[in-house]
Amino acid sequence: MSNFTDFFPAAGGGGGGIPKYAEFTASGTFTPSQDLIDAGGRIAYMIIGGGERGTGGAGGSGGAVIFGYETLNSTTGCAVTIGAGGTCDNCDGGNTTVAFASAGGTSITASGGTTVYYGYAGGGWGHNSAAGGTAYTGALGYGRGGGSTYYGGNHNSDDLAAKYGSGSSSAANACDGFVRITWFE
């Protein structure tokens, strides 16, 4: 049988890790802390590829949105490469990669949006304006397909606040990728 204090330590005495996170909107390096490694090295991640820019009357595809977990065992820095959103008509979004392998995990890549005209790249759908309707919403709003008039999925003017990885119309650049890493120390 366990003691109450095994689960609820005395005041001022720990009782769990402190939540931490790192977000990347531009390429950089994630360096695991020694405290993270000492706590087991477990991280959660969300990695989003760059969106595609549409062309003509069609919206571009959103970038892939990948959620997962890794266990790291080293404080070696992990390169983070953020995929750029497409900046010319029918230009694909760039892949977003985190090289967790540097610190003992597995490297993860979220593909950028590609293949306009109902194209799909794991995150969002582009659609042709003649077909009407709404583009796919992605995951939690990230990686949404572009509409024929606006980015982020709809024809509605209130949908102009696209999230990371969203595709666009031919009238606007698509959104860049994004990385969020969370852990406890």
pLDDT tens sequence for the chain (185 residues) = 444 444 444 444 445 678 999 999 999 999 999 999 999 999 999 999 998 888 776 778 888 889 999 999 999 999 999 999 999 988 889 999 999 999 999 999 998 888 654 433 333 444 333 333 445 566 777 877 776 655 444 333 334 456 788 888 777 888 899 999 999 98
Task: Find out whether 119 and 86 touch, Cβ atoms under 8 Å.
Answer: no
Please tell me the pTM assigned to this model: 0.79
CA 162, CA 125: separation in Å to the nearest integer?
Answer: 14
